[in-house]
Amino acid sequence: MEIRQLKTFWTLASTCSFSRTAEVLNYVPSTVTMQIKALEEELGVKLLDRWGKSVVLTDAGHQLLPYANKILNDVEEARYVSSQSEELTGTVIIGADEVLCTYRLPALLRLFRERYPHVRLLFRPLSSDNLKQSLREGNVDVVFMLDEPVISTDLHAELLMDEPFLMVVSPDHSLATRSTLGIEDFNREQIILSEKGCSYRTFFYRTLLRKGADSLTELEFNSAEAIKQCAMVGLGIALLPEMAIKGEMERGELIALPWDLSEIRFTTQMLWHQEKWISPSMRAFIESARNVLK
């Protein structure tokens, strides 16, 4: 078993694409295929399956991944200790949910690329349910979550900034001009929400029901942008973080409803595994996030 084979396998597990892996490692695609085949033959197991143009790990692949991640981390640490190179290199794999990927991370990624051009960044969009598990399985180095403050025994969670939420409607919605609202005003209204499993959707919905709302109609999307667009054309009431609708609010394309959402305290937070060695490139990325997302 060679280090380069494990690196190819680990990169392929991160990108889920042979062509992307070849691009990242500066290989031709046939080299990626050859190295994975050699690793599978040596281990006597199938590590991955192809589904169209995508790649998914088998059970054996999932079992190998944390060991490959640990070996590669140890190798990177040994190389750093031996060389003490002044120029940062290496790879940092980042995960985040769709909202933060769209509205918070672009500025951070751009700044980091400008400062550390020789560090390779790999981004993995993940659902809220999969972010912490991806850290525990070693699939990512750092994740960003929009959630209630995370308390964990094995993950380090750092709060970066509070994210206020608003209930918004189009300017011509029947509730748009109201100065006050009661819970009965939500009855028979269509509520545009994120997918099931999203923590702030669950919290918000339970809050409305606890206060006595009934006959709510749900329209569900897995994209904050889709929710925003539906609200703008008058399809219902949307719950969104303020960062996602700031421009539309300023232009008068969305109107905030006078409803107290102070119970909802969600934050942008950065997490990594407490047992993971923090490489110089990963440390630089964490510091950049602290400076940008505040």
* Closest C-alpha among 70, 53, 123, 116 to residue 89: 116
98 lies in a domain?
yes
Q: Which residue has the tokens 């050699």?
A: 38
Angle at 68 between CA 66 and CA 69, to 5 degrees: 60
Contacts of 278 (CB under 8 A, 6+ apart): 272, 286
Same domain, 98 and 177: no
Q: In CATH, what number is assigned to the domain containing residue 69?
A: 1.10.10.10
CA 109 vs CA 2, 101, 119, 236: distances in Å: 32, 10, 11, 34
Q: Are residues 103 and 117 in the same domain?
A: yes
Q: What is residue 197's predicted lDDT score, i.e. its pLDDT? A: 66
Query: Tens-of-pLDDT digits for all 294 residues of the chain?
Result: 788 888 898 888 878 888 888 888 888 888 999 999 999 999 999 998 887 777 888 999 888 988 887 787 777 767 666 555 567 888 899 999 889 999 999 999 999 999 999 898 988 878 777 888 888 877 889 999 998 889 998 999 999 999 999 999 999 999 999 999 998 888 888 889 887 767 777 777 777 777 777 767 788 888 889 999 999 999 999 989 999 999 999 999 999 999 888 777 789 999 999 878 888 899 999 999 999 997
Query: Domain span at residue 65?
Result: 1-84
**Amino acid type, 123:** F
Say yes or no: 77 and 21 in one domain: yes
Pair 77, 24 in one domain: yes
What is the torsion angle, in degrees rounded to the nearest 10, for the CA atoms of residue 279, residue 285, residue 290 and residue 293? -150
- In sign, the C-alpha dihedral spanning 253, 245, 206, 96 is positive
Q: Are residues 153 and 277 in the same domain?
A: yes
* 196 falls within a domain: yes
Residue 219 has which token pair? 């329209």
Indicate if 171 and 252 belong to the same structural domain. yes
Last residue of a domain, one of 53, 84, 115: 84
Question: Quick check: is 263 in a domain?
Answer: no
- pTM value? 0.71
Q: Tell me, yes or no, whether 289 lies in a domain.
A: yes
Give the domain CATH number at 151.
3.40.190.10
Token readout for 232 is 């703008």
Q: Are residues 149 and 294 in the same domain?
A: yes
Would 149 be classed as within a structural domain?
yes
CA angle 286, 94, 289 (to 5 degrees): 25
The strands making up 217-220's β-sheet, listed across from edge to edge, are: 217-220, 190-193, 237-241, 165-169, 255-256
Answer yes or no: do 237 and 117 share one domain: no
Query: Nearest-CA neighbor of 139 among 76, 102, 93?
Result: 93
pLDDT at residue 24, rounded to an integer: 81
**In a shared domain, residues 43 and 185:** no
The size of the chain, in residues, is 294
Q: Are residues 170 and 99 in the same domain?
A: no
Q: How far is CA 170 from CA 99, 234, 235, 236, 289, in A?
A: 21, 5, 8, 8, 34
Nearest residue to 36 via CA among 224, 51, 17, 53: 17
Residues 291 and 150 placed together within one structural domain of the fold: yes
In a domain, 180, yes or no: yes
Q: For residue 80, what pLDDT is reported?
A: 61
> Would residue 237 count as lying in a domain?
yes
Are residues 25 and 40 located together in one domain of the fold?
yes
Question: Of the residues 55, 84, 113, which one is the last residue of a structural domain?
Answer: 84
Nearest to 240, CA basis, from 277, 209, 288, 198: 198
Positions of E strands within the chain? 48-51, 54-57, 90-96, 119-125, 142-147, 155-162, 165-169, 190-193, 217-220, 237-241, 255-256, 267-273
Q: How many domains does the chain have?
A: 3
d(CA 206, CA 165): 15
Q: Residue 262 domain-assigned?
A: no
Helix and strand numbers, DSSP H then E, in the chain: 11, 12
